[in-house]
Amino acid sequence: MVGKKRLEEILNNFSNARIAVVGDVMLDDYIFGSVDRISPEAPVPVVNVKKETFVLGGAANVLNNLNSLNAKVFAFGVIGNDDNGKRFLNVLEEKSIHTDGIIIDEKRPTAVKRRVIAQNQQLLRLDWENKANITADVEDKILEKIKNNIDNIDAFILSDYDKGVLTARLSSEIIKLANENNKIVTVDPKPKNHMNYLGATSITPNRKEAMECLEVESFSDEEDLTAQMFKLKEKLHLNNLLLTRSEEGMTLFGNDEAETISTVAKEVYDVTGAGDTVISVFTLAKVAGATWFEAARIANTAAGIVVGKMGTATATPEQITEFYDELYNS
């Protein structure tokens, strides 16, 4: 347990932390409307649009989480030379997120997921994306930006949505640079790319992702799960591994011990983006002076907040303090 005074000390240090996020940034576009008739042209509903909103998605949701937690945030990623790219940069600039590391690639569109929603039901999703790996030239541009800013960065979060930005070369070069400069690197991995993250500080897979990394179909019991997680930790040469386990909470696998933290969500409405919140708070709390176990417990509390909200939500330090106090110190 983290005492209230200790928690407040860590949260107060969030504003001094400088976190870089590298990964597959995108925009989530929500179109809200109503349906009261079927089209005469085809058997599909006609949506009368009432409102359209844009929110940060993919790796950019990690940026949004960190921004809500008062950290200084540096964005590294790729967008297209298009209206959605301009819209994306405007959102970052409005939040005072550093955009110098965002590379414009003329050959790629800005990644967008557009959802059409009516009567509280999602009717359709349209995706604009290019999942091919970025070119060596774009890799070089991102690496140059990182090298120019590394003295102003305390930790890196690599947010992999498997859209081509976190290539094997780019990932390994970032980890090498971070290790040479004593910077933390945490990774939210895609299983097919997990070997790209050899030598990172920590990864934060969910149970399914961990099984895919290990190429196993299940864990026979808790003892088997623990042994397999330590195996994955050693395989990737990690300092620790944080396994998120849905209703079972999360488990932090350190040097020689594993600590399980029970889930704290009161009600679960939407788990969308919960993993982004976990890695954001986990990394930020460590930079702010927490131990890794304290960081995991605070991240678990933040996840309990966001799953009680609809959509890709975030938590603030004030909400974490209030919820944590309700859970542990009442």
Question: Catalytic annotation on 276?
Answer: yes
Degrees, nearest 5: CA angle 62-286-202 = 70
* Residue type at position 60: A
Helix or strand run (H / E) with residue 269: none
β-pairing verdict for 250-253 and 72-80: unpaired
Whether 105 contacts 134, CB under 8 Å:
yes
The domains found in the chain, sorted by start residue, are: 4-37+45-328 (3.40.1190.20)
Residue 282's closest CA among 194, 199, 187, 211?
Answer: 187
Q: Say whether 115 sits in a helix, a strand or coil.
A: strand
Which residues, including other chains, have CB under 8 Å from residue 181's CB and lie 6 or more apart?
150, 151
d(C-alpha 167, C-alpha 254), whole Å: 27
d(C-alpha 173, C-alpha 136), whole Å: 12
Q: Say whether 306 sits in a helix, a strand or coil.
A: helix
CB burial class (10 A; 0-12, 13-18, 19+) of residue 156? buried
Choose the catalytic residue: 28, 29, 160, 276: 276
Rg (alpha carbons) of the chain, rounded to whole number: 20
- Each residue's pLDDT, cut to its tens digit, for the chain (330 residues) gives 688 889 999 999 999 999 999 999 999 999 999 999 999 999 999 999 999 999 999 999 999 999 999 999 999 999 999 999 999 999 999 999 999 999 999 999 999 999 999 998 999 999 999 999 999 999 999 999 999 999 999 999 999 999 999 999 999 999 999 999 999 999 999 999 999 999 999 999 999 999 999 999 999 999 999 999 999 999 999 999 999 998 888 999 998 899 999 876 555 443 456 889 999 999 999 999 999 999 999 999 998 888 765 555 688 999 998 888 777 655
Q: Say whether 57 sits in a helix, a strand or coil.
A: strand
**What's the whole-model pTM score?**
0.93
